[in-house]
Amino acid sequence: MRAGSLRFVVTALAVPILLYGVLVISPYAQSFYISLTDWNGLSPERTFVGLDNYVRLVQDDVFWISVWHNVIAVLVIPAVTLALGLFFATMIHVGRYRARGGGRGVRGAAVYRIVYFFPHLLSIAVVGVLFSTVYDPTDSGLLNGALGLVGIEPVNWLGDRGTAYPAMLAVIIWLSVGFYVILFTSAMSSIPVDIFEAARLDGASRWQTFWRMTLPLIWDTVQVAGIYLGIHALDMFAIVNVMSAAGGSGGPDNATQVLGNYLYLTAFQNSEFGYATAIGVALLLLTLAFAAAALRLTRRERVEF
């Protein structure tokens, strides 16, 4: 290392590392300590109970239901959102394929971009209220009314344990797609047009162009989007809390319970902060495992252009 550069590195990193230590590392360390106590969250007193909370965690059925629901969310939400996002972005960007001059967006592409982005601007609370009307289980519900027109019996979307969780996942996907459409269209715009023209001249089909050129060239963006979506999907707290019942029961009968909401109920409804923190630590480990796995699985040769 050249003389002086060490000092530069140290001074440049000191503030971020200090902030990271105070705002991230220290709370995690404290959380880990709290998870080893029986703290009820209301008084300064707490007793050290060792790994009792973790033993209880392993035996807790609701915990495992929640983990399972989080895992489903992590698998489904990124996959569906990325697929839809890529599809819409491609359509907007190169939907109309011209014989000369490569792809052009479909008519009204600018309008679509804005419309797709709308849901992303709404807060989860607003979306929750909105969708309680969409998912109204009687035949006067928005969705059931539409289904009624084609002769389908009303579905009890949020009241049936079979449909409640998929219905919530659909809301999250609806909410997220628009942002990724924008992200992917702008990534696609940065690919030079001549490459597409060359491919077209060589007789590549649209399908081939997408798989062999577009996707590899924006792979970095897709990868980051996937990880971000995955971490977002591990949360799920807000939507479950708003849509399951007043106060967020995770119902019907834990059919929509996720770790974030279970943690919340344990802490604020049952006043078991020690146990809730143990759930939080489990969620942290799950998040880290997901991020590590996702980075490893999606590693690819980077294509320069």
Partner 1 sequence: MTHPTRALNRRTLLGLGAGLGALAGTGFLSACATSSSTRGGGESASPRATGDPDNPLGVPADLPLEAVIFKGGYGDQYAIDAQAVYQQRFPQAQIQHTGGQELAKLLQPRFVSGDVPDVICNAGAGALMLAPLVENGQLTDLTPLLDAPADGGDGRTVRDTLLPGVVEQGTFGGVPYALNYTFTVHGLYYSSALFDEHGWTYPGTWTEMLDLCQEIKDSTGMAPWTYQGKNPGYILTPLVMMAVKAGGRDVIDALDNLDPDGWTSAPMMESARAMYQLVERDFIMQGTSGLTHIQAQTYWANGEAAFIPCGSWLESELGDVTPDGFDMVIASPPALTDDDALPQAAIRGMGNEPFIVPAQAENPYGGMEFLRIMLSPASSQNFTRQTQTLTSLAEYDPQSAGTGLTSVRDALSASGDDTFFWRYGTWYSALQTEAANATSALMTGEIDPDEWGRRCQAAADAVREDDSIEKYGDQ
Residues 82 to 141: which contact partner 1 by CB under 8 A? 105, 109-110, 113, 132, 135-139, 141
Query: Which residues, in sequence order, are CB contacts of 70 under 8 Å at separation 6+?
Result: 233, 234, 236, 258, 259, 283, 286
Q: Under rule CB under 8 A, which residues in 240-269 are in contact with partner 1? A: 244-247, 249, 251-254, 260, 263, 267-269
The least CB distance from residue 209 to partner 1, in Å, is 18
Residues between 35 and 74 with contacts to partner 1, criterion CB under 8 A: 38, 40-45
Out of 123, 205, 208, 271, point to the residue binding partner 1 (CB under 8 A): 271
Q: Please give the Cα distance from 114 to 121 (Å, whole number).
A: 11
Closest to partner 1 by CB, 71 vs 231, is 231
- Cα(9)–Cα(16) distance, integer angstroms: 12
> Does 165 sit near partner 1 (CB under 8 A)?
no
CB 6, min distance to partner 1, A: 26
Q: Write the interaction track for partner 1 spanning residues 176-215; mark x where CB under 8 A is met and - where it is not.
A: ------xx-xx--xx-------------------------
Decide whether 28 or 212 has the Cβ nearer to partner 1: 28
Question: Which x/- pattern, by CB under 8 A, does the window 272-291 give for partner 1?
Answer: -x--xx--xx-xx--x---x
Q: How many amino acids of this chain bind partner 1 (CB under 8 A)?
A: 76
C-beta of 6 vs 55, nearer to partner 1 = 55
Shortest Cβ distance from residue 14 to partner 1 (Å)?
Answer: 19
What the block records as the tokens of 97 is: 């394929």
Q: Which two tokens stand for residue 178?
A: 């628009």
In this chain, which stretch among 73-81, 156-164, 207-215, 296-304 interacts with partner 1, using CB under 8 A? 156-164
